Amino acid sequence: MSILIKNVELKGKSVDILTDGERITEIAPDLKVEAEHVIDKRHLAVIPSFYNTHTHAAMSLLRGVADDLHLMEWLEKHIWPLEAKMTDKDIYAGSKLSILEMIKSGTTFFNDMYWHPEVTIKAAKEMGVRASIGLTLLDGAGENGSKETVDRNFHILKEECNSTISLTIAPHAIYTVSEENLIWAKEFADKNDLMLHIHLAETETEVEGCIEKTGHRPVHYLEKIGFLGKNVIAAHNVWLEADEKDILNKREVKINHNPVSNMKLGVGNTFDYSAFKGVTLGTDGASSNNNLDMSEEMKIAALLQKHVSADPTRLPAREAFDMASMNGAHAFGYDAGRIKEGMLADMLLIDLRNPCMVPGLNVISDLVYAANGNSVDTTICNGKVLMEGRVVENEEKIREAAIAAARELIN
Ligand SMILES: [Zn+2]
């Protein structure tokens, strides 16, 4: 598949862009080439697409079910009982809904942690996005969250992996996974060259529980049992002391930040952006956000850092944009996040006629501070057009299936 995009704005200049297969092959004004698919519209700017590094995609089905609660009450009384009723059909419908929302707001990769990984893989493949799918370990979930299930799923699902789909081992958190299973997860991931995806230091309660159970703060505990390394992506990282941040940096742990989820669940502290390099951004699940719009996530990340430090120079727009795009791509080994010849063709065309993008003096500033995901006109992933003119294939069917599944689940 080749795509020719004519007369698109890149860093203030009008250019043509050619993709061939997975990659951007040529960028120049007025290219005289043929392509299988041509996009020739005025008033579009090209930017790299978003990489969402912490999601629970199927939770879109639970959007709006239980708001305004503390994390443990929210999980134990509302989310976990509903999740226990979810079938693979529900998870498929919820994953499709989330991927639809992601494509419509410019996200082409998500790093997921949920149940029935095989159906989320199926959904991602059908819709053409990249995904890293967690094989979840969670002691309280019985056979579903056991290491035997993870092991079995890995051997079945590794056949599904390719340049767009990968697997992670996903021990849910310190407070839900035993030491024995955390160590097993680490060894299994290392042996099979996989990443590990874990929630870390999200709330003060988690820290207190970890100290009570193990005698150590969360990062010290994970360091002691040999869990940390550069194949770990840790979500949240809110309640950390200085020496814990040093350990995460020393071990080259990938850092994911979820400002909207943290603020909505009132976790009571703020992630320290300045302590880490290459921070990536995620929405978390739609039931603690309540959407998957990385444009909103960038804005709130930037505002939160400025607000808590009383310093408006912290987390400038360009850095917030890199957190949402390039940093996430690099954390998962993808050669994307810049519009350059040779890079993967993961990119968005932004409608510059959207009133919040006018007068268009600084596209990155407009994207971070003014726009939301609705300004995305076209979404391209791995050299394939997933949305053009805001139209995604089968959108109505996906929406109807999600509504039906959610109604049956809640009633
Ligand atoms: Zn999460």
Tell me how far the alpha carbon of residue 35 lies from the centroid of ligand 1, in angstroms.
41
Q: Cis before residue 316, ω within 30 degrees of 0? A: no
Q: Which amino acid is at 133?
A: I
Q: Into which CATH architecture does domain 2-49+334-395 fall? A: Roll (2.30)
Q: Are 250 and 20 in contact (CB under 8 A)?
A: no
pLDDT digits (tens, 9 = 90+) for 209-254: 999 999 999 999 999 999 999 999 999 999 999 999 999 999 999 9
pLDDT digits (tens, 9 = 90+) for 33-83: 999 999 999 899 999 999 999 999 999 999 998 899 988 898 899 998 999
Q: What is the pLDDT of residue 396?
A: 98
Q: What is the pLDDT of residue 411?
A: 81
In terms of Cβ atoms closer than 10 Å to its own Cβ (0-12, 13-18, 19+), residue 160 is: middle
Mean pLDDT score, 176-188:
98
Q: How many helices (H) and strands (E) does the chain have?
A: 15, 16
Average pLDDT, the chain: 97
Ligand 1 ion: nearby residues, β-carbon < 5 Å: 284
Tell me how far the alpha carbon of residue 282 lies from the centroid of ligand 1, in angstroms.
9
Cα dist from 25 to 4, 21, 189, whole Å: 10, 9, 35
Model confidence band, residue 271 (pLDDT cutoffs 50, 70, 90): very high
Tell me how far the alpha carbon of residue 137 lies from the centroid of ligand 1, in angstroms.
13
* Secondary structure (3-state) at 6: strand
Q: What is the pLDDT of residue 287?
A: 87
Tell me how far the alpha carbon of residue 93 lies from the centroid of ligand 1, in angstroms.
19
Tell me how far the alpha carbon of residue 150 lies from the centroid of ligand 1, in angstroms.
19
CATH topology of domain 50-331: TIM Barrel (3.20.20)
- First CA to last CA distance, the chain: 45
pLDDT digits (tens, 9 = 90+) for 100-157: 999 999 999 999 999 999 999 999 999 999 999 999 999 988 899 999 999 999 999 9
Distance CA 197, CA 254 (A): 9
Q: What is the pLDDT of residue 283?
A: 98
pTM above 0.95, yes or no: yes
Domain residue extents for the chain:
2-49+334-395, 50-331
Q: What is the pLDDT of residue 364?
A: 96
Q: Which amino acid is at 257?
A: H
Same CATH fold assignment for domains 2-49+334-395 and 50-331: no
Tell me how far the alpha carbon of residue 263 lies from the centroid of ligand 1, in angstroms.
13
